[in-house]
Structure 1
């Protein structure tokens, strides 16, 4: 990437958990809310980029954004509700996942446009949803699973088992993770950068005029893709390694600090 001095930024992309929302308070810091308002008043687009479902954004609905990249780039929608992009996981991969879990102990969730379902509610699964302040989804009917319209899956396994599993069970899909507990799985090649491309085209913004904030493994492609990729102070080590700048953590005005540092605010 070229020099980061005095960038002209026209779009800022923000992860939710650990970036917008604190894991400690489950709230968006006041400094971040004010920063978002200031950005939009300056005509800078502010777009959410999350691994969450489009239906799991209640925690941020009190703030006005310019668009939403959800399911790690698999489903992009404007503030007005226009679906800009949507892509499903290969149905054969989902069938393989379901079949595998019927024979081996594996927890998973299947995320659709209008619902999320899980195959069991282990303490790990319940704890994960509690960690991000979301209700535990219902358990699906194993005899009536829609394998054609899954936008994202979560597989509850450690990183040491992920590569072999993906190669043998879900070879047409890509995995990313922000926690050792589980991986997000999307259609092969999809990442948050997919959504960034969609919104840059939609708003007529060049990628050299973009900035992104994140803290987890599913943010890496996004931070590498934008002009300035900012890792939160609470980010995972592998995220900090690829970031252009490391700011303070979410609870210590990290977003505002980085925006001020680069003269965007």
Structure 2
């Protein structure tokens, strides 16, 4: 790839699953490790932007980052643990979800700062945790259920059910999706775009000085908000359609190749 004239980039945001981390090999390509290290050596801020919780990032913690945008922007923290932003899901929506699950076969995960609880060990739930290489969480304890501190929910519904489900069951929240298995549900107003803005303010960086990589529907707001939004080759068409640039997939050194294309690596 030949490099192109690129605006001065001071921060790069990276989705995790399917972007930094290969869901095929369950590993991070060596080219990606070196690229991230090279960016930081140049003084460019490197920030994780994921739907996972901070406690589900052990597989990338050996890489040095400058910040963590987790729960799709609902929980943002600096590398030294300073929480910049935190927003929980409306408790009425959680009550509605629990009631709906008890009268249907829909499973869900409740995600907190320090733990995750699942409603059922259904085939879809077990497939998810195998897919992202995370141990299956404990079941919800209805006697000790905390509905006031839920930061994100995974709802195991088919894509065609999503719009009506959100409208009827969780109207104060919003959904996004990076897999047909489930929808991420976050508090209204939360998005990776918002997370980008919080980090830009914290580091005194303008949006015109930002770049982001992603592959899922929950990355769309982020890719649209930054100066250069890069879709991985393994991204869905809905992500590629809004991207400024489409690179190779995660297993074919997509991050390294895009950074070289834009002259951020040599």
TM-score bracket for this pair, using the shorter chain length:
over 0.9
Tell me the SS of whatever aligns to 1:183.
strand
Q: Deviations over 1:154-187 (max 9, x none)?
A: 0000110000010011000000000111000000
- d(CA) in 2 for partners of 1:80 and 1:138? 29
- d(CA) in 2 for partners of 1:209 and 1:93? 37
TM-score normalised by the chain length of structure 1: 0.97
Tell me the SS of whatever aligns to 1:77.
strand
Tell me the SS of whatever aligns to 2:117.
strand
- d(CA) in 2 for partners of 1:37 and 1:176? 30
How far off is 1:143 after superposition? Answer: 3.1
- d(CA) in 1 for partners of 2:61 and 2:6? 32
Partner of 1:211: 211
Tell me the SS of whatever aligns to 1:51.
coil
Tell me the SS of whatever aligns to 1:9.
coil
Q: Deviations over 1:93-125 (max 9, x none)?
A: 001101111111110000001110000011111
Please list, as runs of the form range in 1=range in 2, the aligned pairs for 1:164-243 lying within 5 A after superposition: 164-243=164-243
Partner of 2:151: 151
1:68 partnered with 2:68: yes
1:129 partnered with 2:98: no
Q: Deviations over 1:20-48 (max 9, x none)?
A: 00011111100000000110000000000
- d(CA) in 2 for partners of 1:6 and 1:60? 28
1:115 partnered with 2:112: no
- d(CA) in 2 for partners of 1:65 and 1:129? 25
Partner of 1:44: 44
- d(CA) in 2 for partners of 1:145 and 1:96? 14
Tell me the SS of whatever aligns to 1:143.
helix
TM-score normalised by the chain length of structure 2: 0.97
Partner of 1:163: 163
Hey, which bits of structure 1, 4+ residues long, moved more than 6 A?
Answer: none
- d(CA) in 2 for partners of 1:78 and 1:67? 4
- d(CA) in 1 for partners of 2:6 and 2:128? 40
Any stretches of 5+ residues in structure 2 without a counterpart?
A: none
Any stretches of 5+ residues in structure 1 without a counterpart?
A: none
